[in-house]
Structure 1
Amino acid sequence: MDNKINRNEFLKNLGFRGASLVALYCTSKGLSSCSSDNTVVPASVDLTVDLSTTTALANTGGYTIVSNVVIANTGNGNYVAASITCPHENKNAIKYQGSSFYCPEHGATFSTNGTCTNGITGKALKIYTVTKSGNTLKIT
């Protein structure tokens, strides 16, 4: 008995197996660009940050992450705080650069009021209230 298979049958078989693997993978959340990791963004937080010990906030454009909140120095004694969770993919990836928030996972950018500035998502980034008193920031 000859166990040889012709080239056409081999390629069909290979294509079918490959398509089956892709279909299996796609049914999981692996290929979905808008998959959710079920992250819940709290409506409010209650954080206190001591500016005298947080060197990352000493200069304009500097930022730090505390308890899943990105806190940034926007200059002239002003600060902004946002959820670390990107509203597009629900991944904890938000960073601050220059004068806006961005998600390095897919390139969405957000103003300091939370509006998406490049159209990647219609959802706003959660922005928290920041109150400064002396060297202390209160984020709620």
Structure 2
Amino acid sequence: MKILAEEELFQNEQDIELKETEILDNLLPEMSEDKESAMFEVRAGTGGNEAALFAEDLFSMYQKFSILKGWKFKIINEETKEGGNGYSLASARIEGLNVFGTLKYETGVHRVQRVPQTERSGRIHTSTASI
């Protein structure tokens, strides 16, 4: 009886995965551009120097993600904040299969709340960067 229940559970889990994939495909249909490369830009938002550090962290994170996916990450521009810490603007061209499809929902404003490296009294700051 236990074996039958385990087999049924396994089958139900597979059915759920198939339905999830089907639902996502219907809600988010593939576009012809999804298989293309993409231009990528990170811009520091509100938060001063901490926002620039956050923008640099994001840019580095996406660069590492691209390498992990086997894509080419070609840096086009890096504008550092005064003092040389963090990016006010950084852009790159990411080349490979399904780059645009993978990254198209990453656009927008990203927010971080943390105790920044620039903070001496341990207060939490909120900073933003746009992609």
TM-score, length of structure 1 as denominator length: 0.29
TM-score, length of structure 2 as denominator length: 0.30
Bigger proportion of residues as helix: 2
Higher Cα Rg, which structure: 1
